[in-house]
Amino acid sequence: MLDLAILGLLFEQEMHGYEIRRRLRDELGLFANISFGSLYPALSRLERSGAVAVTESGGTSSAPLLSTGSLGGERAGLRARRSGATLGTKRSRKVYRITGQGRALFEQLLEGEEPAGADDARSFGLRLAFARHLAPSARLALLERRRAQLTRRLATDLVRASGDRLDVYTRSLVEHSTESTEHDIAWLDRLIDAERQKQAASRTDGARSADSTDPSDPHSGDAMTSSSPTGAS
């Protein structure tokens, strides 16, 4: 999942490691606890595989001080920063960008199906966040696949809720899960309906465009002929 998220962000623009981390945490919301200890090994792995390329950019000592999670580490970083400012030195920072191979890998990961029986809300949420990069048919398949997963979950919860061996508290948890699943299915139904309408409208527009330039229509080229120098008598 982390590789998919990194490549998805770099698909749109190149950026520094701290910016990738910020967007993973603040915008995608699926990696709230992501640390540099997890991020940089993933970036190095993608670089070694050829999916990501790295360049150095000049940066001044006034670059944001990154949180290390350690009070001693942050103090050491602050001392180094102040020392750099005193000496007037500059330091370079790595800028990451996606490569052609990385774009192909991103598309492969984005379109890939979850393992059979998987019910991973985070995996679906990440793919949905980048669904604009999917082909229309693949985007619709993603939504329908998630709906099928939730439908199976709902059936299981309904069977559990109908049992006689649940106490009042356990039953309330099952009922809550059922209501949440029903809400998610209704949300997906709206997304699926909107996606189908958009695709139908696109096909209609395409058909109209094709009809307007139908070569079998004796009048379809009149406008072009009349305005073309070769069409003058």
Tell me the CATH class for 2-106. Answer: mainly alpha
Residue type, 156: T
The owner of tokens 């059979």 is: 116
What is the layout of strands, in order, in the sheet containing 90-98?
15-16, 90-98, 52-60
Pairwise pLDDT comparison (102 vs 164), residue with the higher score: 102
Q: What integer pLDDT is reported at residue 232 of this predicted model?
A: 42
| Helical axes 2-12 vs 100-111, angle rounded to 10° | 130
Q: What is the CA radius of gyration of the chain?
A: 27
* pLDDT value at residue 80: 47
Highest mean pLDDT among 31-35, 78-82, 154-158: 154-158
pLDDT digits (tens, 9 = 90+) for 144-187: 999 999 999 999 988 888 877 888 898 899 899 999 999 999 99
- pLDDT score of 1: 86
Put residue 117 in one of left, alpha, beta given phi > 0 → left and psi -120 to 50 → alpha: left
CA angle (24, 13, 77) in 5-degree steps: 55
Q: What pLDDT sits at residue 186?
A: 97
Helices (H) and strands (E) in the chain, counts: 9, 3
pTM for the whole thing? 0.69
In 3D, which of 207, 179, 184, 54 has the Cα closest to residue 124?
A: 184
Cα–Cα separations (whole angstroms), residue 68 to 4, 40, 185? 24, 13, 41
For range 120-130, the mean pLDDT: 89
Q: Give residues with Cβ within 8 angstroms of 73, minimum separation 6.
A: none
Length of the chain: 233
For residues 75 and 13, which has the higher predicted lDDT (pLDDT)? 13
Lowest mean pLDDT of 36-45, 147-156, 224-233, name the range: 224-233
At 79 the pLDDT is 54
The residues spanned by each domain of the chain are 2-106, 135-212
44 vs 116, higher pLDDT: 44
- 58 forms beta bridges with 92
pLDDT at residue 227 above 80? Answer: no
